[in-house]
Amino acid sequence: MSSDKHRSGKKITLGEFRTILPYLKKYRRPYVLGFLCLIVVDGAQALIPQFIRRAVDLITLGDFEWFAVFRLCLAMLAVMAVIALGRFLWRCCIHGSSRRIETELRDTLFAHLLSLAYDFYQKNKIGDLMARSINDIGAVRNALGWGLVTLVDGTIMAASILAIIFIQDPRTAAVCVLPLPLITIVMLAFGKAMGRRFHRVQESYSAMSNTVQETFAGIRVIKSFVKEWWFVKKFAAVNDDYQEANMDLVKIYGAFFPFVSFLAGLTTIILLLAGGRRVVTGYLTPGELVAIFSYLQMLIWPLMGAGFMVNMIQRGAASMGRINEVLQSEPSIRSPLRVRPRSGSGALPAVELRNLVFRYPGEDKNPGEQESPAPNVLNGISLAIPRGTVTGILGRTGSGKSTLIKTLMRMVDPPAGSVFVEGTDVRDWDLGELRMLFGVSPQDSYLFSDTIKNNIAYGARPRAGEDADPRAALSGAARMSALDRDLEAFGRGWDTLIGERGLTLSGGQKQRVAIARAILAVPEILVLDDAFSAVDAETEKRILAAILDDRHGKNSPSKTTIIISHRVSTLSRSDMVAVLEEGRISELGSPKELLAAGRFFTRMAALQQLGESDHG
């Protein structure tokens, strides 16, 4: 997807609707039935003025029977019943189909968003994606519902009415329809302007959604720095921009309909002048004049409907263009077309890195700007992690520890031939199968706005042949993560609702919920990425002992654990520790060997031991 700056200049065409052609094909039957009902309704409506004509002529002649008028009224009543039933049916068929397409299109968009890689969300704001998923899809639904209805209804009604009045009195009809070509010209001119302005409205709405989403997500920081006034000012600016964009649309939209009404009113004046004279001279009966007048009044709706149709189709095209930008975004990381078979040999390392070099892509540049290469985050890392071992990774902030873990699961894409899991290049794995091997408790313990139980249960994975009690598994994960002692303090225990991103929990509680979630997955490779930074040393020791005793005891000798930490004490039970400095492995060995080496690991151990003694 391009930037907002580039999107704003994009030309809006009806070709954007090509994406929904499969949906229209799927619901073609209800659409066809709906349009048939609409045609029947239009035909029935065209009969009403003819009944009025006959009734007026009967009355004006003076010599008539009331029963004849009564029969006309009964016939009109029957036709009106057909109109009512037809309107009900076409609304169910057409609007019902547009609602179903809206739902399926939103499901498709949401599923596609989930398929896109990590880098997509670095370039696109959440508020904008929400606006496309809700507001823009709503505009598409209006185009597929009311937009198509007004197009078909207006065309058929206008053609039928013009045919009838020209058959009834060509001379009067020719004079009365003189203003109509002007309406067509105005409609075409206003339609393009409406499309451009509506596109700006949607982009302004996205900007406002971004501001609201970012403000409420960072409410703790805003309040702690007493910056409410600044965000009120920021929101007022985007809100004013949204208002201005809407006012630009309203001005042209508001000018269109009064002008169409004025031109429609001219036809009535012309009819009174020309048609009245024809009645006086005997070329028209009073009933025929009233019928033509009724037809011209009915013609106002197709003319007005043309404005609605142009507006909704243009809005739908603009919104569909914004949706297509997302749907046309290809995942930068995907499963290979042909997944290579794995050897399955237990002798192969769980993870192997071979001269891994990685850099993040540079930021998008404007045309004409020279792109400077991004620096390497990882530089020539080679490391083998045997199955069933505990491997520690130590390093300063920014040394590449978390990036290294992301390459293992292809959250970022490493070069081919540099990262292997169970002896197979990660680029040759099916993404779902690869990531199912891992259970990760990340630095940023993201929790959902749900119960504690459900947040932990997100980690549960179905396993063939297992009949274990899920409640026992949850309790075991909570016990290992030392969360069980906090459950009693929560208002509703397991069913306690936590706020967005775990707002109501402390930092340590959030991390322990995330650890329990990773444990519950019972992964082949457990990754604890600085997962104890908000937990005190005593609790950390208890959690780590429980996890390692469970994963590396007699019952699970093949499980592998990777621990990333700034604390040397956290890595004391590791079989091997890799020290990262500036994206390179500067030390590698057991904790005992590294302590004796007198380098970075030794200095960190001494500093942390000194800090603990000072606190003591």
Instruction: Record the pTM.
Output: 0.78
| Whole-number Å distance between alpha carbons of 186 and 194 | 12
pLDDT value at residue 563: 94
Give the Cα separation of 480 and 565 in Å (integer): 19
Place of tokens 């519950």: 520
- Dist CA 186 CA 335 (whole Å): 52
- Dihedral, CA atoms, 482, 486, 487, 489, nearest 10 degrees? 170
Q: For the sheet containing 351-358, what is the strand order? A: 378-385, 351-358, 419-421, 424-425
Q: What are phi and psi of 418, to 5 degrees?
A: -120, -20
The Cα 529–Cα 531 span in angstroms is: 5
Residue 8 pLDDT:
46
Q: Which of 301, 152, 117, 214 is nearest to 501 (CA)?
A: 214
pLDDT for residue 81 = 95
Largest Cα separation within the chain, whole Å, is 123
pLDDT along the chain (616 residues), means of 10: 46 81 94 95 91 84 74 90 95 94 93 88 84 89 91 88 88 82 71 75 84 79 80 90 88 77 79 84 84 84 74 85 91 82 68 92 56 79 93 90 92 92 91 90 84 86 56 87 83 80 81 91 91 86 90 76 90 92 92 91 84 55
- Cβ(452)–Cβ(484) below 8 Å: no
Q: Are 305 and 261 in contact (CB under 8 A)?
A: no
Segment 432-436 long-range contacts (CB within 8 Å, at least 24 positions apart): 432/335, 433/339, 434/409, 434/410, 435/409, 435/410, 436/461, 436/523
Strand segments, DSSP code E, in 239-377 are 351-358
Residue 26 · residue 107 · CB < 8 Å = no
Q: Which domains does the chain have, with CATH numbers?
A: 23-327 (1.20.1560.10), 347-360+375-437+524-616 (3.40.50.300), 444-522 (3.40.50.300)
Structure tokens at 1: 């997807």
Name the residue among 49, 37, 136, 43 with its Cα closest to residue 89. 37
CA-CA distance, 257 to 269, in Å (whole number)?
19
What is the SS3 assignment for 363? Answer: coil
Which residues, listed in sequence order, are joined to residue 564 by a DSSP beta bridge? 393, 529
Cβ distance 579 to 587 under 8 Å? yes
**Predicted pLDDT of residue 516:** 92
Contact partners, residue 467, CB within 8 Å, separation at least 6: none
Query: Burial level of 422, CB count in 10 A (0-12/13-18/19+)?
Result: buried
Per-residue pLDDT at 5: 41
* Pairing mode of beta strands 438-441, 576-581: unpaired
Task: Identify which of 295, 273, 323 has the alpha carbon closest to the alpha carbon of residue 140.
Answer: 323
Inter-CA distances, 491 with 297, 300, 474, 476, Å: 66, 63, 18, 21
- Rounded to a whole number, what is the distance in angstroms from the first to the last CA of the chain? 55
Q: Both tokens of residue 144?
A: 């597929």
